[in-house]
């Protein structure tokens, strides 16, 4: 609040120096309580000053802040316009999903199929190749996988049992 008071007083002081006060005369400004307060080094309006002066200062502050708010709102509106330009600019379309005709989708699909065919031809893969035969796992391979899995699980269970024993103590110590 101290900064606001100083700002308002500064504005009022400039008005008094320029003869823009409510009384309109510069002769009265030398005895003006605000000028006397500022000359004495005070930065706040004291209660001994007339209430009319406080009202004038507050009214001037409100007016000044409203003007600043209008300018800031205009700047914010400009920045928002830069972020999302409206449809009337012609630069951007309105938000929403674009509709595409079935014929256009068909043309796009045909062009993509053509590109894929050219890519496969360049890679040397025939376009209508027979799918590869599915690989089968032999009985011996399956057995080896099962044994390895059992060994891994046994090691894991043994480690877990060791952790439980370490945290609770040996079974003969548990009562």
Query: CA gyration radius for the chain?
Result: 43
pTM of the model as a whole: 0.24
Residue 53 is part of which domain span? 2-86
User: What letter does residue 120 receive in the DSSP assignment?
Assistant: H
Last residue of some domain: 86, 103, 130?
A: 86
Same domain, 81 and 6: yes
Domain check: are 6 and 77 in the same one?
Answer: yes
Q: Are residues 81 and 145 in the same domain?
A: no
Polymer length in residues for the chain: 175
pLDDT digits (tens, 9 = 90+) for 57-105: 888 899 999 999 999 999 999 998 888 866 455 555 566 788 999 999 9
Q: State phi, psi for 88 to the nearest 5 degrees.
A: -70, -15
The count of domains in the chain is 2
Is residue 117 predicted with pLDDT exceeding 60? yes
Residue 18 resides in a domain: yes
Distance of alpha carbon 71 from alpha carbon 158, whole angstroms: 74
In a domain, 57, yes or no: yes
């Amino acid at each position: 609040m101290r900064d606001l008071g100083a700002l308002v007083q500064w504005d009022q002081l400039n008005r008094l120096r320029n003869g823009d006060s409510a009384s309109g005369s510069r002769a009265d400004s030398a005895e003006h309580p605000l000028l006397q307060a500022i000359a004495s080094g005070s930065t706040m309006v004291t209660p001994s000053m007339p209430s009319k002066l406080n009202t004038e200062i507050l009214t001037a502050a409100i007016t000044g802040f409203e003007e600043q708010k209008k300018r800031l709102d205009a700047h914010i509106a400009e920045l928002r316009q830069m972020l999302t330009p409206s449809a009337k600019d012609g630069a951007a379309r309105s938000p929403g999903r674009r509709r595409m005709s079935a014929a256009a989708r068909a043309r796009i699909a045909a062009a993509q199929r053509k590109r894929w065919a050219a890519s496969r031809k360049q890679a040397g893969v025939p376009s209508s190749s027979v799918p590869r035969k599915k690989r089968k796992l032999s009985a011996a391979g399956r057995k080896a996988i099962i044994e390895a899995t059992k060994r891994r699980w046994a090691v894991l269970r043994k480690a877990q049992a060791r952790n439980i024993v370490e945290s609770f103590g040996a079974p003969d110590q548990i009562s």
